[in-house]
Amino acid sequence: MRKDYSLTPTTRDGKPRRPIEIVMTPMIDVIFLLLVFFLATSSFQLVELLMPSGVSETEDNAGNTEAPPPEVTDDALDQIVVKLQQDGDQVFAVLNEVKLANWQELHVRFRAIGSVGSDLPVIIDPAAEVQADYFVQAYDWARESGLSRVYLAIRK
């Protein structure tokens, strides 16, 4: 009684087993469908990583009162910088270095700016202590006024 130890696979009853056949065509079809899906749903817009302005740079506030005010440049007239600051419980806005009388005046100014031109970039620069709902409201007011390029300045 000799046992057969050959390498050909057999079934339990000793008959030779058919070789396994792997069909690649359906898998390739699925891969191409996924590729088409991801290409169709992708957005090819550039992600904005850096804002081309100096509002997000940290300033040296060493109390240097004798320094001359910054010179007005051409690009200062091409953008609107809104700094949100807090004094006690009061939150106020400084629009291009001009302190506004109250919080609601920012909404009025945004509507006036939006009626003149909506392509001006608006940069909202909140101080660290300002609550999030204030700069979200400022952002909403700017977008509601027709301004399409509204950005939020952040610090590292």
Give the residue extent of every domain in the chain.
74-152
CATH of domain 74-152: 3.30.420.270
Each residue of 86-129: pLDDT tens digit?
888 888 888 888 888 888 888 888 888 888 766 778 888 888 88
**Three-state secondary structure along the chain?**
CCCCCCCCCECCCCCECCCCCCCCHHHHHHHHHHHHHHHHHCCCCCCCCCCCCCCCCCCCCCCCCCCCCCCCCHHHCCCEEEEEEEECCEEEEEECCEECCCCHHHHHHHHHHHHHCCCCCEEEEECCCCCHHHHHHHHHHHHHCCCCCEEECCCC
Global pTM reads: 0.49
Mean pLDDT rounded to a whole number for the chain? 76
